């Protein structure tokens, strides 16, 4: 097979400072491939952008090529490309993509921050070997003497499946994105987005339309984390049963985008999954047209409606916005609507009441509650409008309330599991000790929840519920068991979905996902009561 090489620019998250990658096209084909020799070097170089050091080597043996992630002699992990059987096998997917040799097995909780660290009392279970059978998806690798080629979209899906970004090809360049970079908060194109959509809309070849559909099945079958919970045996079966296969493989990119949008918001229909941007061949305006016409789907629409109602109820009591920290009599209220990392270095300047990020709010609250002669007897964490966010910040909050915060994760792709003990440093003295927590301080601890409490906003009360030291007040939390990962199609559409990393809690040695949410200890029918804090304090003080 004759391959035609085309060097195209690569844009890492911005329109500036592109570098190049060689894409190889079978003669007469629109489907780009990468050479494994070149990809080995490209991937290592690209990961260095994020300070992710990786060393790969390649061994060739006729129709088998082994790419090896090496940490030195005796600590190597292979990925085998079998060109006879058309398979890609990874002995240990988690170790192959681990950040560093002494890092944690599960990537979601692997990064220690200055304000939160992972302790030593961790438990990890290695998963199974993973084999991607490309023939089952009518995807073909190809060999030309000593050169070995894999479709670009296939290599992107496998190598970036557990990373917080993906790559989309618009026919002229490769655009790495977290999924959010093409449009701003007002749904207007950014400069990055303008460049991505600078190509002319066109009809896809039948080959590209079919390949894009097949690659979508491959990525969702392996990396969609709620597949088993949703009872999905395979996405091919799901799509054919619902007559989406023809739509998703259409040569009209707009038809394929309609199918993808409906898949995300009406078939998958979970709150983490969200259609982000249409194919460049559908045109820049088509994303907004789809959103306006098709809406957000039942799950997201319900949450948006509940959130809107609760915001209106809260606004009656806090027309100028709710403060991050507030004292009402003997009760301290801590409120934030998303888990965010610190916006500044609190070790050099202490948090104040004006800080808005999660870490600043918690640390300021800790200093106030534990001050000398403090009148505070109750501490209430209000997560009733919290839709989630950064996992390390959630670990910090749990540790602030419980001392040791045990977060568990299960990889639905490999079956690997990990439980990690988080500790927070709320006074930034570089010591992780009893001064950094509300636990064991003769305080009564509470958490307010609603169906809006989602993802990390759901995980935190689930962990609280297991320990019993923090009582939950409100409604059942909103679920959300997985991290979020961006994905792309071969025709350039981009979307978010629930990743294969399932947030869990550990009970009696077994992992249980938190997707169904958790019931409160004290049910409140009208959640507007949660924002009448004088009345709520009276209620809390009446509880035994």
- Place 109 in a pLDDT band, splitting at 50, 70 and 90: low
Helix 253-262 and helix 286-294: axis angle, to 10°?
A: 40
For residues 405 and 387, membership in a common domain is answered with: yes
Does residue 108 form part of some domain? no
At 136, the pLDDT band (50, 70, 90 cuts) reads: very high
What local confidence, expressed as pLDDT, does residue 113 receive?
Answer: 59
**Domain check: are 175 and 220 in the same one?**
yes
What confidence score (pLDDT) does residue 390 get?
85
Which CATH number goes with the domain that contains 338?
3.90.226.10
Among the candidates 295, 327, 346, a domain finishes at 295
Residue 244 has pLDDT above 60, yes or no: yes
> Domain check: are 340 and 279 in the same one?
no
Residues 318 and 434 in one domain: yes
Q: What is the pLDDT of residue 370?
A: 94
Flag whether 289 is in a domain: yes
Say what the pLDDT of residue 290 is: 96
Within this chain, do residues 286 and 303 fall inside the same structural domain, yes or no? no
Shared-domain flag, residues 325 and 222:
no
Q: Which of 295, 313, 343 is the last residue of a domain?
A: 295
Tell me the average pLDDT across 188-193.
95
Residue 339 has pLDDT above 70, yes or no: yes
Tokens 């339309």 belong to 209
pLDDT for position 107: 67
pLDDT at residue 33, as a whole number: 98
Percent of the chain with pLDDT over 70: 96
Q: Quick count: other Cβ atoms within 10 Å of Cβ 323?
A: 14
Average pLDDT of the residues of the chain: 91
Predicted structure pTM score = 0.92
Judged against a pLDDT cut of 90, whether residue 120 lies above it is answered with no
pLDDT digits (tens, 9 = 90+) for 194-211: 999 999 999 999 999 999
For the chain, helix (H) and strand (E) counts, in that order, are 14, 26
Helix (H) or strand (E) holding 456: helix 456-467
User: Of 267-276, 376-385, 433-442, 520-529, which range is least confident?
Assistant: 433-442
Q: Output the CA angle 63-68-74, nearest 5 degrees.
A: 125
pLDDT, position 454? 95
Please indicate, yes or no, if residue 487 is contained in any of the structural domains.
no
Residue 76 confidence (pLDDT) above 80: yes
Residue 72 has pLDDT above 90, yes or no: no
pLDDT at 122: 78
Q: Are residues 270 and 321 in the same domain?
A: no
Collapsed DSSP state (helix, strand, coil) of residue 239: helix
Other CB atoms within 10 Å distance of the CB of residue 511: 16
43: number of Cβ within 10 Å: 17
Q: What's the domain count of the chain?
A: 2
Claim to verify: residue 388 and residue 421 sit in the same structural domain: yes
One domain for residues 220 and 315: no
Considering the domain architecture, whether residues 290 and 305 belong to the same structural domain is answered as: no
Say what the pLDDT of residue 108 is. Answer: 59
Encode pLDDT of 422-475 as tens digits.
Answer: 788 888 777 777 888 999 999 999 999 999 999 999 999 999 998 889 999 999
Q: Are 505 and 481 in contact (CB under 8 A)?
A: no
Looking at residue 408, its pLDDT comes to 85
The residue from 232, 262, 295 where one domain ends is 295
Q: What is the DSSP letter of 530?
A: G
Whether 353 and 324 have beta carbons less than 8 Å apart is answered as yes
Which of 46-50, 173-177, 289-293, 326-330 shows the lowest mean pLDDT across its residues?
46-50
The answer to the question of residue 145 being in a domain is yes
114 located within any domain: no
Name which residue leads in pLDDT, 98 or 51. Answer: 98
Closest CA to 275 of 487, 482, 478: 487
Which structural domain, as residue segments, surrounds residue 350?
Answer: 299-480+515-542
Q: Do 200 and 308 lie in a common domain?
A: no
Place of tokens 């109750």: 378
CA distances from 466 to 293, 361, 504, 534 (A): 42, 25, 11, 29
266 in the same domain as 402: no
Q: CA 470 to CA 464: how far, in whole Å?
A: 6
Q: What is the pLDDT of residues 3-62, one digit of tens each?
A: 999 999 999 999 988 899 999 999 999 999 999 999 999 998 888 876 677 889 999 999
Task: Kindly report, residue by residue over 358-396, the tens digit of the pLDDT.
Answer: 999 999 999 999 999 999 999 999 999 999 998 888 888
Residue 420 located in a structural domain: yes
246 within some domain: yes
Examine residue 489 and state whether it is found in any structural domain, yes or no: no
Is pLDDT above 60 for 112? no
């Amino acid at each position: 097979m004759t391959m035609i090489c085309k060097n195209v620019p690569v844009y890492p998250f911005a329109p500036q400072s592109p570098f190049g990658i060689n894409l190889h096209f079978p003669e007469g084909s629109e489907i780009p491939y990468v050479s494994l020799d070149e990809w080995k070097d490209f991937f290592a170089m690209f990961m260095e952008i994020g300070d992710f050091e990786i060393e790969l080597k390649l061994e060739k043996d006729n129709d088998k090529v082994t790419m090896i992630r090496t940490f030195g002699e005796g600590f190597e992990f292979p990925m085998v490309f079998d060109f006879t059987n058309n398979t890609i096998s990874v002995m240990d997917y988690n170790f192959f993509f681990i950040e560093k040799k002494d890092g944690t097995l599960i990537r979601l909780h692997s990064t220690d921050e200055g304000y939160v660290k992972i302790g030593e009392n961790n438990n990890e279970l290695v998963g199974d070997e993973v084999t991607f059978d490309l023939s089952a998806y009518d995807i073909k690798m190809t060999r030309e003497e000593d050169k070995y080629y894999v479709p670009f979209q296939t290599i992107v899906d496998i190598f970036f499946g557990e990373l917080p970004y993906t790559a989309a090809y618009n026919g002229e360049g490769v655009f790495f994105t977290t999924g959010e970079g093409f449009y701003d908060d007002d749904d207007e194109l950014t400069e990055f987005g303008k460049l991505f959509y600078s190509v002319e809309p066109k009809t896809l070849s039948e080959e590209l339309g079919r390949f894009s559909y097949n690659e979508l099945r491959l990525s969702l079958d392996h990396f969609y984390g709620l597949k088993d919970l949703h009872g999905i045996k395979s996405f091919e079966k799901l799509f054919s049963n619902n007559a989406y296969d023809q739509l998703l493989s259409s040569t009209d990119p707009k038809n394929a985008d309609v199918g993808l949008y409906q898949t995300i918001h009406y078939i998958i229909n979970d709150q983490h999954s969200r259609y982000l941007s249409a194919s460049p061949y559908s045109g820049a305006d088509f994303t907004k047209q789809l959103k306006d016409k098709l809406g957000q789907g039942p799950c997201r629409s319900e949450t948006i409606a509940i959130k809107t109602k609760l915001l209106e109820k809260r606004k009656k009591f806090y027309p100028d916005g709710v403060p991050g920290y507030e004292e009402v009599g003997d009760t301290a209220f801590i409120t934030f609507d998303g888990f965010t990392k610190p916006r500044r270095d609190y070790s050099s300047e202490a948090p104040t009441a004006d800080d808005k990020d999660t870490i600043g709010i918690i640390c300021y609250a800790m200093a106030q509650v534990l001050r000398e002669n403090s009148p505070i007897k109750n501490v209430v964490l209000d997560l009733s409008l919290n839709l989630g966010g950064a996992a390390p910040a959630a670990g910090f909050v749990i540790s602030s309330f419980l001392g040791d915060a045990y977060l568990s994760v299960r990889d639905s792709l490999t079956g690997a599991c990990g439980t990690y003990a988080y500790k927070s440093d709320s006074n930034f003295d570089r010591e992780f000790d009893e001064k950094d927590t509300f636990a064991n301080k003769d305080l009564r601890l509470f958490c307010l929840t609603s169906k809006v409490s989602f993802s990390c906003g759901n995980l935190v009360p689930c962990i609280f519920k297991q320990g019993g030291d923090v009582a939950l007040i409100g409604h059942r939390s909103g679920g959300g068991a997985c991290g979020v990962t961006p994905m792309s199609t071969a025709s350039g559409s981009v979307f978010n979905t629930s990743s294969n990393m399932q947030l869990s809690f550990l009970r009696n040695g077994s992992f249980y996902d938190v997707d169904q949410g958790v019931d409160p200890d004290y049910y409140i029918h009208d959640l507007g009561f949660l924002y009448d804090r004088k009345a709520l304090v009276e209620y809390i003080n009446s509880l035994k």
